[in-house]
């Protein structure tokens, strides 16, 4: 018998079913990240009042749900027990992130100064002298609010890329004052750069999916780097079809990500292979939240992505001569 150290797929099965097995109860904690399985809303716990918990998503929006309901916690269906400590935020904590928003809609990074989506803590204890580290592995800069956004930007293809970057590098980006913006597809890169008009003081770093020789993405990247803005733009990428694949498969109970035929939309194919709902866009969104919920630190990501993001951060924060 094969030795599967990871056991079965921790996210597989009918996650909406109730009563199939005993649902574990966990004490409610502030900043615990939960997902409502019916609506797909995911966010950090920011309050408990009148029998309802308030969940704040990565954009700072808040929705309330009955405390007695069932929620997904890192892919597991749970019920909530009474908290051992107050879960409400201290005055001013929640507003710090949105007050300094500077950038286009869909931006992340310097604009979120409080919680981290998907459960990654802002800092974690390091082994060397008790110093704290961010989810990216950097030493944490404590007691510092988000800086005013730099004129330079990091741009990523879509929402899922932005959410993953925020989760792992968000604390670092806030310290540096870097805003991440969504392109809504690499096809829009040239038009976005024409509007942004990069300069030495307004650099743009771009993260592209599936940047391999001969791909559509590589052709767009080459054209940009040879074009009018090439001197002030850095385009890098990872080899994965989608950023989902940059999450180590073991984090979702797999030995490897399934191979999807080109005739099938990739994300829908992944969901189908895993036995997850995939008929509607809302199903795809919920699938990503389940995957993102398994990411805790940089150690849960493939090195092909890690190095590229660090390269972009260095590029847009390089001191001016």
pLDDT at residue 245, rounded to an integer: 95
Q: pLDDT tens digits for 77-117?
A: 889 998 888 877 543 333 333 223 233 333 333 322 233 33
Pick 164 or 35 by higher pLDDT.
164
- In this structure, of 128-137, 167-176, 235-244, the range with the lowest mean pLDDT score is 128-137
Are 44 and 29 in contact by the 8 Å Cβ rule? The answer is: no
**285-310 burial string, b = 16+ CB within 10 Å, else e?**
ebbbbbbbbbbbbbebbeeebbebbb
pLDDT of 120 > 60? The answer is no
- In this structure, of 65-74, 136-145, 250-259, the range with the lowest mean pLDDT score is 136-145
> Over pLDDT 70: what percentage of the chain?
73
Q: pLDDT tens digits for 37-56?
A: 877 777 788 888 888 898 88
Tokens 């309330």 found at: 64
pLDDT at residue 244, rounded to an integer: 96
pLDDT of 126 > 50? The answer is no
pLDDT at residue 118, rounded to an integer: 36
Give the pTM.
0.59
pLDDT at residue 137, rounded to an integer: 58
pLDDT at residue 13, rounded to an integer: 44
Ramachandran angles phi, psi of 280, nearest 5°: -125, 160
pLDDT at residue 148, rounded to an integer: 62
| 54 bridge partner residues | 47, 64
CA distances from 86 to 26, 44, 93, 124 (A): 15, 14, 14, 21
pLDDT-derived band at 268, boundaries 50, 70, 90: very high
CA distances from 197 to 140, 193, 194 (A): 33, 6, 5
Q: How far apart are CA 228 and CA 11, in angstroms?
A: 46
Q: pLDDT tens digits for 191-206?
A: 999 999 999 999 999 9
pLDDT at residue 100, rounded to an integer: 31
pLDDT of 4 > 50? The answer is no
pLDDT of 20 > 60? The answer is no
The chain-wide mean pLDDT, for the chain, equals 77
Phi-psi region of 19 (alpha: psi -120 to 50; beta: other; left: phi over 0): left
| 64 bridge partner residues | 54
Q: Which residues contact 119 (CB under 8 A, 6 or more apart)?
A: 32, 33, 74, 293, 296
Token pair in block for residue 117: 């989506």
Average pLDDT value for residue range 26-35: 86
């Amino acid at each position: 018998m094969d030795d599967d150290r990871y056991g079965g797929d921790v996210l597989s099965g009918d996650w909406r079913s109730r009563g199939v097995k005993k649902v574990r109860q966990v004490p409610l904690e502030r900043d615990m990240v939960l997902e409502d399985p019916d609506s797909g809303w995911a966010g950090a716990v920011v309050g408990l009042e009148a029998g309802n918990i308030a969940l704040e998503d990565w954009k700072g929006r808040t929705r309330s749900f009955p405390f007695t309901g069932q929620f997904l916690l890192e892919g597991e269906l749970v019920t909530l027990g009474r908290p051992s400590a107050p879960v409400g935020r201290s005055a001013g904590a929640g507003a710090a992130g949105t007050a300094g928003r500077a950038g286009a809609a869909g931006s992340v990074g310097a604009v979120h100064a409080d919680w981290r989506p998907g459960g990654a803590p802002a800092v974690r204890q390091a082994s060397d002298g008790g110093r704290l580290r961010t989810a990216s592995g950097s030493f944490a800069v404590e007691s510092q609010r988000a800086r005013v956004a730099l004129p330079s930007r990091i741009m990523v293809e879509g929402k899922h890329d932005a959410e993953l970057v925020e989760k792992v590098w968000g604390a670092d980006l806030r310290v540096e004052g870097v805003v991440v913006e969504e392109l809504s597809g690499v096809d829009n890169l040239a038009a976005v750069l024409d509007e942004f008009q990069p300069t030495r003081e307004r650099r743009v770093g771009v993260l592209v999916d599936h940047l391999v020789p001969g791909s559509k993405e590589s052709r767009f990247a080459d054209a940009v780097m040879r074009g009018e803005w090439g001197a002030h733009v850095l385009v890098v990428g990872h080899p994965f079809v989608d950023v989902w694949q940059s999450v180590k498969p073991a984090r979702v109970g797999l030995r490897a990500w399934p191979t999807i035929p080109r005739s099938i939309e990739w994300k829908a194919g992944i969901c189908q292979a895993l036995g997850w709902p995939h008929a509607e866009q809302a199903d795809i969104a919920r699938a990503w939240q389940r995957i993102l919920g398994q990411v805790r630190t940089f150690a849960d990501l493939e090195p092909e992505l890690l190095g590229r993001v660090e390269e972009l951060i260095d590029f847009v924060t390089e001191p001016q001569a």
